[in-house]
Amino acid sequence: MRAILCAGALALAAPAQANEPAGAIVSIGGAVTEIVFALGAGDRLVARDTTSVYPEAALALPDVGYMRALSPEGVLSVGPDLILADQNAGPPETVEVLKDAEVAMVQIPDVFTGEGVQAKIRTIGAAIGVEDKAEALATDVAARLEAAQAQAEARAGGAKKRVLFVLSAAGGRIMASGSGTAAAAMIELAGAENAVTGFEGYKPLTDEAVISAAPDAILMMDRGGDHDSPVDQLVALPWIAATPAGQARAVVRMDGLYLLGFGPRIPEAVADLNAALYGG
């Protein structure tokens, strides 16, 4: 028998195993893995996905691949008793195979709010049998986030900065965040406002749209490769140079998982983003 949990609905495995905590866990999703470690269960992990890069101990685990491009063979090859998977894990056909396997699978909801982080923690805690620890961690995160938001709002005052999140500037073309994304939620939590709200998700912007957005600051993930854009190159783009952010060279770069993971470090990420935007 298998067990699948999605958005709080648990179908229990065989009764004799119902109360036995899983001893071999595969964690799919950076925040999921981070929460498992924060709950003191990192020693029960037998593998993780490519996005699971924190804490450092996670890097010693076998890597089963990128969370959106998993193969069922790779995930099952490590012999898990339980698969904890971010709800965005995929592709869908792999998820269906994993659901049909003789392994318990828990899909973790990913909602870009403080309450969403608490729900992740509690869902994972229930799945691995550490509900008390999960409740304590969720309560602590909630209190720290409330304090971070209060400080962020006080520092921002009545003049919130307009922030453009740039997912990619490859080839000089700006791929930016609209509404409904982790980036948009983090900008708001940090006491600022998203400079682009006319669409949902991430889309390429025309040069005119970048200028019209008139961001006071540009926010990017700090990463290498083709999607990276050093500050000098970015602010040299004419459509960036024409914005207040470009003129002030106001570019904030933060680790992607830390910034967008919506895990237990979210209070610190909110505080750091606010400080980078407003000073302090």
Query: What's the CATH code, domain 4-129?
Result: 3.40.50.1980
Residue ranges per domain, the chain?
Answer: 4-129, 157-278
Q: What per-residue confidence (pLDDT) applies to 179? A: 98
Q: What per-residue confidence (pLDDT) applies to 4? A: 45
Query: What's the CATH code, domain 157-278?
Result: 3.40.50.1980
CA distances from 118 to 113, 143, 253 (A): 9, 11, 26
- Which parts of the chain register pLDDT below 50? 1-18, 226
Q: What is d(CA 147, CA 144) in angstroms, rounded to the nearest whole number?
A: 5
Is the Cβ–Cβ distance between 263 and 120 less than 8 Å?
yes
Q: What per-residue confidence (pLDDT) applies to 159? A: 87
Q: What is d(CA 87, CA 28) in angstroms, rounded to the nearest whole number?
A: 9
The angle, 0 to 180 degrees and rounded to 10, between the axes of the packed helices 131-156 and 182-189 is: 60
Residue the block writes with tokens 């392994």: 103
Domains 4-129 and 157-278 share a fold: yes
Q: What is d(CA 35, CA 72) in angstroms, rounded to the nearest whole number?
A: 23
Q: What per-residue confidence (pLDDT) applies to 109? A: 95
Task: State the pTM of this model.
Answer: 0.90
